[in-house]
Structure 1
Amino acid sequence: MAENYQSREERRKQHASKQKKKGGKQPSKGIFKRIFLILIALGIAGMLVGAATFAFMVKDAPKLDEKALKDPISSKILDINGELITEVGLENREYVNYEDIPKLVEDAFLATEDVRFYKHNGMDLIRLGGAVLANVTRGFGSEGASTITQQVVKNSFLNNEKTLSRKAQEAWLAFQLERKYTKQQIFEMYVNKIWMSERSHGVLTASHIYFGKELNELELHEAALLAGMPQSPENYNPFKHPDRAEKRRNIVLSLMNQHGFITKEEMKAAQAIPVESSLVKEEDRKRNDSPYDAFVDVVIEEVESKYPDLDISSDGLTIYTTLDTKAQDYVEKMLSSNDIVQFPNDEFQAGITLLDTKTGEIRAIGGGRNQEVKRGFNYATDSKRQAGSTFKPIMDYGPAVEYLKWGTYHTLDDKPTTYSSGQQMNNWDRKHMGKMSLREALARSRNTAALQTLQAVEKEVGLDKAKEFVNKLGIDMDEVYESSAIGTEEVSSLEMAGAYSAFGNEGFYTEPHSIKKIEMRDKTTIDATPKTEAVMQDYTAFMITDVLKSVVKDSFGTGKQANVPNLHLAGKTGTTNYSSKEKKDWQIQSGGVPDIWFAGYTTNYTAAIWTGYPNMKSSIAPKDQKIAQALFKNLMAYVSKDVDTPDFKMPNSVEKVAIEKGTMPAKLASEFTPKDQIIYEYAVKGQAPKEVSDKFEKLDAPVNVNGSYDQLTNEIALTWEYPEEAEDVQYEVSVALNDGTEQPLQVVSEKGIKIANPVPGGIYQFKVVAIRGEMRSDPAAVKVEIPIPESEIDDGFGDGDPMDDFEEEEEIEDGTSGNNGNGNNGNGDGSGSGWGNGNGNNNGTENGQGGGNTSGGDDTNNGSTNPDGTQGSGGQ
């Protein structure tokens, strides 16, 4: 019994022990259960919140409207006064049914835009996952995952903001669209709605415009080109950008091969075909009937480049532009007729950009002459030609003033100059003009001076600083070379106008733009005005501007024919040249050039004009090389009429200085510098020359000048004193006899001279001037009287024969002695004596009895001496 009891007791203890262990685990199990329930609750709550949030986001989503799905809503373009110019999206729309869309065309679009289109229900979750990852790693909006269905919804009902609300509405409407319509109907909507540039919608319209073909006639490379365009229609327009269009087409072909629509061999064969090979020829394209087409082109491209999510053709935008219709009308009149400017022929082209100097707003665009092709080549924005000398203020002189703080007086030497490589640089006239100021060098457009300027910038701060200066003015420049000094960069009229406007706007640059504001269908707006940035010091802008005023106003300027009287105007000419090989190969006529530019500005307007031929093998004849200036002059005169145009204001950072001409380096004019040797120029405050020129400074005058007559030697001894420390000083001695004309006598290095055989009774007035180079002193003077010997004194009662009382007197200098008797005809510098009347010629001196005398001047003078010694009429 005892054993059994023990056994039962042990079993009881063991059982109690197990129950204890079992009871210890119970709390842990309860915690996990509670956590699990909480997570489920949170998940349900999250779903409810998410659903509520989603419902809130989509509550204002528009309803599906079949008309809106098929017909794009045009955009309105307004001028600067808010008046309607035109509507974009109303023309060039041809509808194609799904059953008429070839499989080749469908495959091209599916491979490019939505290869899983027939597998998803409006949202491609696989593609969405990749886009979400990209947005997390690279920022929201960095990559989209829109399906064709979503694109139809977005283009039909929504704006293009990249917000969660808009995305939620897009997803909701895409889901509804997929429920209401078949995939084939949705694809049909898509290919008919897409914007395809050239103011056209839909793939069928595009096929007609670009290839002149029906869809079933398209080849693989053509279908691929069209499929690649919707991503950026303006950038991939093959008429305007065939190189970009070809690259995009080749990407589409590679996608078609990647997704199994075509073989690798088919891909390579299609990629090898030039994109231009099958495009409609320019002369066969649809003619233009749209108002202000050149300007509207710029508006469309600006929307496309800056706001790629907007579709100007179908989003129903209201676009407020910067267009001045009066200026645009005048530009088009200039280019379309010979009423204002005479053009040599119909092939001669011009591109014109007119900006507001202060704001960068485009007021008018001259896209070319005889532009009959809709959405044709725009010579103001699309044409990129070498800038010639219009690039010098931007590339050379601007950086020199900005970084080296050169003044407008800075002296350059127009002399034979070489590039660092040793290659010779030439001026346009193959001549050299020597030392000149920066002002004159730029106004005369001397190439050697421009190269020296860029080389100085290179030496002091490096060419990268010059490149930085250029790039800040809106001109993309990858590399700068010394040859850039004379304008090798290719630019458009629009870019040149933008760069020049910064000089006219005190150094502030605003990117040229045609749009001020965009209003969406839901009345939300986008401020499209670019930021204004300080790109140079105000002293640089002012001094370059003042120099460019000399281009049009000074006698030595190259742009005088662009000047508008009474208008504060600055500008620069530009000419490009052919290489020797081009001249030979293309048989260029003598004096012919490929491009002529003029760019200039007032405080109100900036204009840049390019003229030339589309084919550079056609040259501009010398007689037509002023057309650019004539276009500029007429345009500026028109837009400035009855408009207050203030002069350019000198900033506090600049000071005006008087510089002596010809000094190198430049020196300040002294108080002795002649007025005609002084030029007034500008310097950065504190950087003006410190040294004053001594070129015209007066020397000290000789002192203690003494003159005496020695009867024994019959000589006048003239002496003076001068500081011993004076170097290289000489002395110019002049004399006047008896108040006659002063004559130079000698230039000596000694401090004295002797004059032999002076005229008895003569009164000599001597002057001594110290000279050194071109420097002179004030004169020091002394008078010496020569006595008459007693043996020669007459009592005044002669018998008319002077030989009774006087001996013939010695000649002075080269003179000839006068005749005796009546005292007539004393010639040259000779002297004669006699009674009665005497006539003197050419400085002759005649002494009449009784003391009367007559002296002739440089010209013939007839003088008479009366017997009583008084001087008669006619003497001098």
Structure 2
Amino acid sequence: MADKSQTRTARRKQKKTKKKPIWKKILVASLIFVLVIGLGVAAVGTYWIVTAPDIEASKLSDPLASQVLDKDGDVFATPGDQKRTKIEYDDLPQILVDAVTATEDARFFEHSGIDLRRIGGAVIANFTNGFGSEGASTITQQVVEKSFLSPEKKISLKVQEQWLALKLERKYSKEEILEMYLNKIFYGSNAYGVARAADVYFGKKELSELTLPEAAILAGLPQRPTAYNPFKNPELTKKRMNTVLTLMVRHNKITQEEADEARKVDIPSLLNESKPDSIKYDAFLDQVRKEVSEKLDGADIDTDGLKIHTTLDKNIQEHVEFLLKDKENSPISYPDEEMQAGMVVLDTKNGAIRSIGGNRSEKAGGLNYAIDLNRQPGSTAKPILSYGPAIEYDKISTYHQINDDKPYDEGVETPIRNWNRQYGGWMSARYALAQSLNVPAVKLAKETGLDNAQEFGEGLGYKFDNDQIDIRDVIGGTGTGVSPLQLAGAYRAFGNEGIYNEPYAVTKVEFPDGKVVELQPKPEAAMSDYTAYMVTDMLKSVMTEGTGKEANIPGLHVAGKTGTTNHTELEGSPDSWFSGYTTNYTISIWTGYNDYNKTLPNTKIPHALFKNTMTEISKDKETADFEKPNSVVEVAVEKGSQPARLPSDFTPSSQIVKELFVKGTEPKKTSEKYDELDPVSDLKASYDKESNTIDVKWKYDADEKVNFEVSTSVDGGEMQSLSSTEDKTIQISEVEKGAEYTIQVVAVSSESSSMKSEPVTTSVNITDEEEEEEDTEEENEEEDSAENIPAVSGLSAKYNEENSIIDVSWNYNGPPASFEVSVNGQTQSVQSNGIEISGASPGQSYTIQVTPIGQEGANKDAKGEPQSTQITVPESQNEETNGNEDSQEDQSNEDNQEESGEEGQNEG
């Protein structure tokens, strides 16, 4: 019985357990989880609050000065250590207070240091777009952050910021906190605090004199003081001012009518005529400020007390700044004061920025053309978007043949033309790039694929105006713009075996609390080493044989590329570029005007700036040549062969060129163009006493189309060219009795005069007999019979420059006859109505006389009246043909004729 009772009890317990609802278990587990999380959050939050720094009154008044160090560790700038004009709350006009609070913290006078409504909106935005996408900092929190905390976007710092804001509000009044804020904020142009900013920008010592537009400008500046600087970017300043005015209307600080009236103002008319003096190396500091702000979540070099290690080379920086100013001893002659320039010097090995020349202005506030410019690059784009991708993806050689036959019109509204409006036919990639021809560049990019060109360019930091590359991007002629810094970064990769990293000015930053952050970017392979080397080798040809000759530096291994743009409506170029490099340094330069509608009177200044700077900074420094990688082979190629062929043993040295190939793609077959022809056979010569002539004949069994050059030598004298004929016989008339004649015959290709056979010779002695008595009767008979042989007609001689041959022809209408042809006293007999005279010498005059001689019956040996003509072979001249790789084009006006712009006709 006991066992049965125990069993029933166990069953009842088991039954009750099964019936317990599952939701109760979930609820209990959830409550426990929330409690644990809550306790954890509370513990962590408590730790963050406990470890928050103390509020020190000394840090609330002035920002901490930063130190900026050059590459050698020496301090060259201390942002934040500048003079400032302090103000008290009573000095602030209400219009400025309203503008600042409406923009930065509309409920500043209502909250207790943190704004819960703003926090709610920011939380939603951060969940949607990621932490840090939107802040909720009040003016009080901004004062706390800039005084005591790091600008990094971390939850721990945000908790500490809010805790300290609450503490600050309990210790100080709203008026005192706003006073701290306006004395601490950086406004750009080396202005710290609102009073100093009002003086710098508007020349107003008293804040009470500020107008509504001026107050709105000052309220908007702290968000982006460099970008919204009214001296530099008045258009951006006005957009920011309009935003502030809109916020003031929304928060009932001003009326809509007042805002509309304020918007009518012209920003430049408000500004102080005397801009602040420039600070030392300010163009380089612009880049430092930008990198620190972008890479350290908004850190401010002007207020955060940082120690910033940079890549600056002060010697190079000072030389660049010297060249950009109008100095009496400057080697650069600028056309006027308005022409601007931007210039960057990088270390080729690692991408470190050694120098930045921002503009030519003596005063600060001008645009930094080295880093902020966005202009069409002209033909400096060609190595990046045409030749580089073609080598990388298609493994073309530097010999690769491209047909530059006519303007490119495939899929474009306006045909793309070469800068010189000339087209040279088939040419090598090396020659086309050296001469900066547009048509070969776009054809090559089309063959490789524009998608590949875009991928290659983006790997070098290239940012396209549209998502999809345009064919005119290849020649730098669309809306896609670059800066000298961006272009230098791309070219540097070609000089650094294809390794790219974004150019950088800051290596590391030390915070006041001892924390160190490394900022040097990681290098990546942007292309194969064969691409980098082969592009570099072609760009060396640009310097020695092409458009960059004026920038070349004898004795220095240097590669480079020119670039100019054109204007759609004006003559001339609004932009001129040069980008070049050695194994040590890379330099990119732009010159132009701030007004795009003004063109340059001289496009060669970038060449001079490059040459002078590279020469100076390379002094007393070993500059190695670019090292050819194992993936590249140099091969001798026969010019004109297509595809590339190895030269034969008979290829003339003038027709051999050395070019680069990706290993494994080099030519294996040998050209047959200059193979030696088979010689003639069975050459025989016999003397005919009766006619006093030598009859010569030979055989030729080969299939090639040939002519035969016949030459003679008398008594061992110099061999003289006699005739060129398609026949296999020739008669030499009026020979000298008692002499020994040596006759030579050479077969010559009809397609190429340089392709010949070995000469074959034979000799014949002329019998010396007593002078025959003159038979007057016979002479009379000859004269009588000669009347039946008419003279030739239409005798003409034309010079064929291609084969160096004089082509002589005539007409004859009479009894059967042969023709005695005398060329400057040398005679021969032919059967045809024409003859070719080979070996014509430039500048030589030739007198050609043709006499018909009867061959049959009573007319046999009877002569007709001689007819003669004269021709002078023109002097040889150096050809200036486009596309001939042996020619030397005149580049003196090249850059001024180059084109790009929106029509896409650029140079080099």
SS in 1 for 2:161: helix
Instruction: Determine the structure 2 residue equivalent to 1:681.
Output: 659
128-137 or 321-330, larger mean C-alpha shift: 128-137
SS in 1 for 2:103: helix
**1:574–1:596: 8 Å Cα contact kept in structure 2?**
yes
Residue 102, structure 1, aligned to residue 93, structure 2: yes
Instruction: Determine the structure 2 residue equivalent to 1:237.
Output: 229
SS in 1 for 2:659: strand
Match of 2:575 among 579, 595, 606: 595
Query: How far apart are residue 139 of structure 1 and its match?
Result: 2.9
**2:646–2:671: 8 Å Cα contact kept in structure 1?**
yes
Match of 1:217 among 198, 203, 209: 209
**2:292–2:298: 8 Å Cα contact kept in structure 1?**
no
Whole-angstrom CA distance in 2 between matches of 1:688 and 1:37? 77
Whole-angstrom CA distance in 2 between matches of 1:176 and 1:719? 120
Whole-angstrom CA distance in 2 between matches of 1:688 and 1:312? 55
**2:391–2:531: 8 Å Cα contact kept in structure 1?**
yes
Match of 2:195 among 198, 204, 208: 204
SS in 1 for 2:344: strand
SS in 1 for 2:570: helix
In the superposition, relative to structure 1, how do residues 646 and 275 fare at CA in structure 2: closer, same or farther (>3 Å)?
farther
SS in 2 for 1:611: strand
For each residue in 1:92-114, what CA deviation from the matched residue of structure 2 results, as whole angstroms up to 9, or x when unmatched?
A: 52222223323332233223322
Whole-angstrom CA distance in 2 between matches of 1:36 and 1:669? 89
For each residue in 1:218-277, what CA deviation from the matched residue of structure 2 results, as whole angstroms up to 9, or x when unmatched?
A: 33343333223323322332332333333333333333333333444444554x436624
For each residue in 1:200-221, what CA deviation from the matched residue of structure 2 results, as whole angstroms up to 9, or x when unmatched?
A: 2222322322333443333334
Q: Which amino acid aligns with 2:78?
A: E
Instruction: Determine the structure 1 residue equivalent to 2:609.
Output: 631
Match of 1:284 among 261, 274, 284: 274
**2:567–2:597: 8 Å Cα contact kept in structure 1?**
no
For each residue in 1:618-642, what CA deviation from the matched residue of structure 2 results, as whole angstroms up to 9, or x when unmatched?
A: 5543xx5433222211211111111
Q: Which amino acid aligns with 1:451?
A: V
387-396 or 61-70, larger mean C-alpha shift: 387-396
Query: How far apart are residue 482 of structure 1 and its match?
Result: 3.9
In the superposition, relative to structure 1, how do residues 39 and 680 fare at CA in structure 2: closer, same or farther (>3 Å)?
closer
Match of 2:220 among 228, 236, 239: 228
Q: Sequence identity, in percent?
A: 46
Residue 249, structure 1, aligned to residue 241, structure 2: yes
Q: Which amino acid aligns with 2:452?
A: K
Match of 2:647 among 649, 669, 674: 669
Residue segments in structure 2 that go unaligned for 5+ positions in a row: 1-14, 775-819, 827-908
**1:705–1:718: 8 Å Cα contact kept in structure 2?**
yes
Instruction: Determine the structure 2 residue equivalent to 1:539.
Output: 530
Instruction: Determine the structure 1 residue equivalent to 2:636.
Output: 658
**2:673–2:755: 8 Å Cα contact kept in structure 1?**
no
**2:152–2:296: 8 Å Cα contact kept in structure 1?**
no
Match of 2:465 among 469, 472, 478: 478
**1:734–1:743: 8 Å Cα contact kept in structure 2?**
yes
Whole-angstrom CA distance in 2 between matches of 1:77 and 1:816? 90
Q: Which amino acid aligns with 1:476?
A: K
After the TM superposition, which residues 363-762 of structure 1 pair with which residues of structure 2 at under 5 Å, given as runs? 363-369=354-360, 371-420=361-410, 421=412, 423-433=414-424, 435-446=426-437, 450-458=438-446, 460-479=447-466, 480-488=469-477, 489-554=480-545, 557-579=546-568, 581-583=569-571, 593-615=573-595, 619-621=599-601, 624-663=602-641, 666-689=644-667, 692-709=670-687, 716-723=694-701, 726-755=703-732, 758-762=735-739
Query: How far apart are residue 652 of structure 1 and its match?
Result: 2.4
SS in 1 for 2:44: helix
Whole-angstrom CA distance in 1 between matches of 2:26 and 2:523? 58
235-244 or 192-201, larger mean C-alpha shift: 235-244
Structure 2 length as normaliser, TM-score? 0.76
In the superposition, relative to structure 1, how do residues 387 and 279 fare at CA in structure 2: closer, same or farther (>3 Å)?
farther
Larger-Rg structure:
1
Whole-angstrom CA distance in 1 between matches of 2:376 and 2:17? 88
Q: Which amino acid aligns with 1:678?
A: I
In the superposition, relative to structure 1, how do residues 721 and 32 fare at CA in structure 2: closer, same or farther (>3 Å)?
closer
Query: How far apart are residue 79 of structure 1 and its match?
Result: 0.4
Whole-angstrom CA distance in 2 between matches of 1:652 and 1:196? 55
**2:433–2:441: 8 Å Cα contact kept in structure 1?**
no
After the TM superposition, which residues 136-175 of structure 1 pair with which residues of structure 2 at under 5 Å, given as runs? 136-175=127-166
**2:275–2:365: 8 Å Cα contact kept in structure 1?**
no
Q: Which amino acid aligns with 1:471?
A: E
After the TM superposition, which residues 794-833 of structure 1 pair with which residues of structure 2 at under 5 Å, given as runs? none
Instruction: Determine the structure 2 residue equivalent to 1:334.
Output: 323
Match of 2:353 among 362, 365, 382: 362
Match of 1:125 among 95, 116, 129: 116
SS in 1 for 2:500: strand
After the TM superposition, which residues 80-99 of structure 1 pair with which residues of structure 2 at under 5 Å, given as runs? 80-99=71-90
Whole-angstrom CA distance in 2 between matches of 1:241 and 1:576? 24
Residue 769, structure 1, aligned to residue 750, structure 2: no
For each residue in 1:6-38, what CA deviation from the matched residue of structure 2 results, as whole angstroms up to 9, or x when unmatched?
A: xxxxxxxxxxxxxxxxxx999999999999999
**2:390–2:448: 8 Å Cα contact kept in structure 1?**
no
**2:403–2:427: 8 Å Cα contact kept in structure 1?**
yes
Whole-angstrom CA distance in 1 between matches of 2:710 and 2:367? 78
668-677 or 631-640, larger mean C-alpha shift: 668-677
Query: How far apart are residue 749 of structure 1 and its match?
Result: 2.6
**2:89–2:179: 8 Å Cα contact kept in structure 1?**
yes
Residue segments in structure 1 that go unaligned for 5+ positions in a row: 1-23, 584-591, 793-801, 806-810, 818-876
Whole-angstrom CA distance in 1 between matches of 2:27 and 2:707? 116
Q: Which amino acid aligns with 1:703?
A: S
Q: Which amino acid aligns with 1:762?
A: A
For each residue in 1:154-188, what CA deviation from the matched residue of structure 2 results, as whole angstroms up to 9, or x when unmatched?
A: 11001122223222322221221122112222222
Query: How far apart are residue 532 of structure 1 and its match?
Result: 1.9
In the superposition, relative to structure 1, how do residues 626 and 478 fare at CA in structure 2: closer, same or farther (>3 Å)?
closer
Q: Which amino acid aligns with 1:457?
A: A
**2:501–2:524: 8 Å Cα contact kept in structure 1?**
yes
Whole-angstrom CA distance in 1 between matches of 2:324 and 2:692? 89
Residue 781, structure 1, aligned to residue 760, structure 2: yes
**2:402–2:444: 8 Å Cα contact kept in structure 1?**
no
Q: Which amino acid aligns with 1:699?
A: L
Q: Which amino acid aligns with 1:788?
A: T
Q: Which amino acid aligns with 1:534?
A: A
24-33 or 694-703, larger mean C-alpha shift: 24-33
SS in 2 for 1:68: helix
In the superposition, relative to structure 1, how do residues 267 and 698 fare at CA in structure 2: closer, same or farther (>3 Å)?
same
Query: How far apart are residue 663 of structure 1 and its match?
Result: 4.4
For each residue in 1:75-132, what CA deviation from the matched residue of structure 2 results, as whole angstroms up to 9, or x when unmatched?
A: 1111011100010012252222223323332233223322233333223333323333
Whole-angstrom CA distance in 2 between matches of 1:343 and 1:354? 21
**1:392–1:487: 8 Å Cα contact kept in structure 2?**
yes
**1:416–1:424: 8 Å Cα contact kept in structure 2?**
no
Pick 1 or 2: higher relative contact order, CA cutoff 8 A, min separation 6: 2
Instruction: Determine the structure 2 residue equivalent to 1:795.
Output: none
In the superposition, relative to structure 1, how do residues 353 and 30 fare at CA in structure 2: closer, same or farther (>3 Å)?
closer
Q: Which amino acid aligns with 2:366?
A: G
The aligned length equals 759
Whole-angstrom CA distance in 2 between matches of 1:230 and 1:335? 31
Query: How far apart are residue 666 of structure 1 and its match?
Result: 4.8
In the superposition, relative to structure 1, how do residues 656 and 260 fare at CA in structure 2: closer, same or farther (>3 Å)?
same
Query: How far apart are residue 456 of structure 1 and its match?
Result: 3.6
Query: How far apart are residue 528 of structure 1 and its match?
Result: 1.3
SS in 2 for 1:777: coil
SS in 1 for 2:78: strand
Whole-angstrom CA distance in 1 between matches of 2:30 and 2:731? 128
Q: Which amino acid aligns with 1:82?
A: G
Residue 71, structure 1, aligned to residue 44, structure 2: no
